[in-house]
Homo-oligomer: A and B are copies of this chain.
Amino acid sequence: MTLSKQEMLNNYCLETGKALNNDIEKQVMELFALSSQTTTIEEKINKIFDEFSEEFLNAIDTNTRIDLDFLVGNFSDSQIPVQPIDFESYLKCLGNNVVAHSINTSSPRFIGHMTSALPSFVRPLAKLMTAMNQNVVKIETAKALSFCEREALAMLHRLIYNFSDNFYSQHIQNNLSTLGILVSGGTVANITALWCARNAILGAKDGFLGIEKEGLAAALDFYGYKGAVIIGSELMHFSFDKAADLMGIGTQSLIRIPADSNNRVNIQALRQAVVECRAQNLLIIGIVGVAGTTDSGGVDSLFEIAEIAQEANVHFHVDAAWGGPLIFSEQHRHKLAGIERADSVTIDGHKQLYLPMGIGMVFLRDPYMATAIEKQASYTMRKGSFDLGKRALEGSRPGMALFLHAGLNLLGLKGYEFLIDEGIRKTEYMADRICTMPEFELLAEPDTNLLIYRYIPEQLRELVIKKQLTEIDNQLINQFNERLQKIQRQIGRTFISRTTKTTTSFSKEIPIIALRAVIANPLTTEEDIDAVLNDQIQIASEIVISNFQKIV
């Protein structure tokens, strides 16, 4: 059992014999003491945390079985302790209550979300970044790092757009140019891209001061539009709902075009939507192509979407938060063909660049596009400065560029290519295994390294083969898979996520609950994949006996 805070405090007082209300200064100043001073608190904490990390990272199970209700009880104190808690007690508490019951997102058998084991250099680098504590909003608080960030972003820009040497020498460290913006994640990247697109298309002109100053209603009025929309696949990430909501066009103006059975947007329908929006005098702020849907990894036909966008003279944004790094792979790069025609591209560093959480990026074909969102302030972000915060949604932000720069250099093109190829190879292995196992049904051919499938209870396998499942059969299978996934998660030996896919059965749209595998972790072996599937079979066998019969 863990100690309550009052108990910790009491222990602390007993141990140290200190009265409570003096020596706060001493305690605080000890916490701020520099590491060069002998036997510091930092060294002790370091040692304890290294033990936590080692145990955590070496675990195979994906999480402990502890109930959420029990956890709630550990975190129900709304009072900040008056006196500092003795740090050894606090760290023990942290180990028992937080670390122990965190999700082992790097386990080779946690193959259900877009997380992975990370290269070891990110851990010491996190400490260095925090020690340096640069604020990349401006050059005065992040000198070399501002240039380092620009270099790393230019490298990825070049991988996408492959402009000339001349282009890059002109723009890479030019404070008027923005090749990319480092943000906290893919959501902010997508919002930023559409914000740039909206402001650029509805800019200042003939006495109109632009949407930035005058707002959306005045801008649509000035330019003579009835409304504004964003068009993309129905499988667009929900960050586009946030963008449409935030930017004032409303989520109804996010036009979601049906995807085909392989999770790619229907190009004909997309083209038709563009025509209809034109006919209705609606401004198309942007057309979105998805390179790796969150659901199933499907990649839209970017080249065809680029054609449509170019013909219509509309901003083309590619959400490649997940799939962007396919560009590292000679073998799989062709799936992204057309991405080089995008006006903006989102890529997440914390997904397939194998970097820690908190690294999103948006790349801009036109180095001057971000001026559409530029802001200044007298205390910072001065015009003509190298301050990176001038053209960004966020203000103060950490030096996450260190991870990106290190990743690109320490893994290199070939290192990332290996990681991408391996993920897709192992996904194909898993797809093959699923196809040979009677217990499972593959729900879509994988485009990349996401896989959706489901478990079929024995009684219904015959009907699956004959394609004779009724809607009620599907509902039963849905219930079964939802239960299976929940139990699997609760037991915590392995992990697969779940999603809902809409399918057509007997001319009726029905929701199908799918199990969803994401295979990106280089530590995941074929044996691990077998172990995950076998874990599901074992769990399913118990559901059949104890619960499923009742449902049927």
Contacts and interface: CB of A to CB of B under 8 A. Distances in A.
A128 B49 contact: yes
Given A103-B143, A358-B358, A409 B81 contact: yes
A360 to B, nearest CB: 8
Given A85-B409, A140-B113, A379-B499, A245 B147 contact: no
B99 A128 contact: yes
Contact of A412 (B32, B83, B405, B410): B83
Contacts of A195: 245-246
Nearest to A168: B78
A63 interface: yes
A252 B84 contact: no
A245 B199 CA distance: 9
A449 B248 CA distance: 38
A141 B214 CA distance: 42
Contacts of A77: 151, 155
A72 B410 contact: no
B103 A215 contact: no
B131 A129 contact: no
Contact of A45 (B68, B121, B495): B121
A289 interface: no
A128 B348 CA distance: 22
A134 interface: yes
Interface residues of A, number: 180
A90 B250 contact: no
A413 to B, nearest CB: 5
Interface in A65-99: 66, 68, 71-72, 74-85, 87, 90, 94, 97-99
Given A142-B103, A377-B294, A151 B213 contact: no
Nearest to A21: B414
A272 interface: no
A83 B414 contact: yes
A419 B25 CA distance: 9
A356 B250 contact: no
Contacts of A128: 49, 52-53, 99
Nearest to A167: B78
Interface in A14-61: 21, 24-25, 27-29, 31-36, 40-42, 45-46, 48-50, 52-54, 56-58
A334 B350 CA distance: 43
A375 interface: yes
Contact of A53 (B49, B127, B396): B127
Contacts of A444: none
A106 interface: yes
A349 B2 CA distance: 27
A217 interface: yes
Nearest to A238: B377
Interface stretch (A180-188, A258-266, A273-281, A538-546): A180-188
Nearest to A192: B246
Contacts of A399: 357
Nearest to A5: B409
B245 A246 contact: no
Interface string A107-148: 000001111011111111111111111110001111111011
A51 to B, nearest CB: 10
A133 B396 CA distance: 22
B122 A106 contact: no
A381 B237 CA distance: 12
A342 interface: no
Given A31-B120, A168-B78, A357 B126 contact: no
29 contacts: A5-B409, A24-B417, A31-B415, A35-B58, A45-B121, A49-B127, A49-B128, A50-B124, A53-B128, A68-B143, A72-B173, A79-B155, A82-B413, A85-B409, A85-B412, A114-B396, A122-B130, A187-B394, A212-B245, A215-B252, A217-B227, A242-B373, A247-B247, A248-B248, A248-B249, A294-B380, A348-B396, A379-B498, A379-B499
Shortest beta-carbon contacts, A-B, top 8 = A248-B248, A215-B250, A357-B398, A216-B248, A42-B120, A126-B130, A78-B168, A101-B144
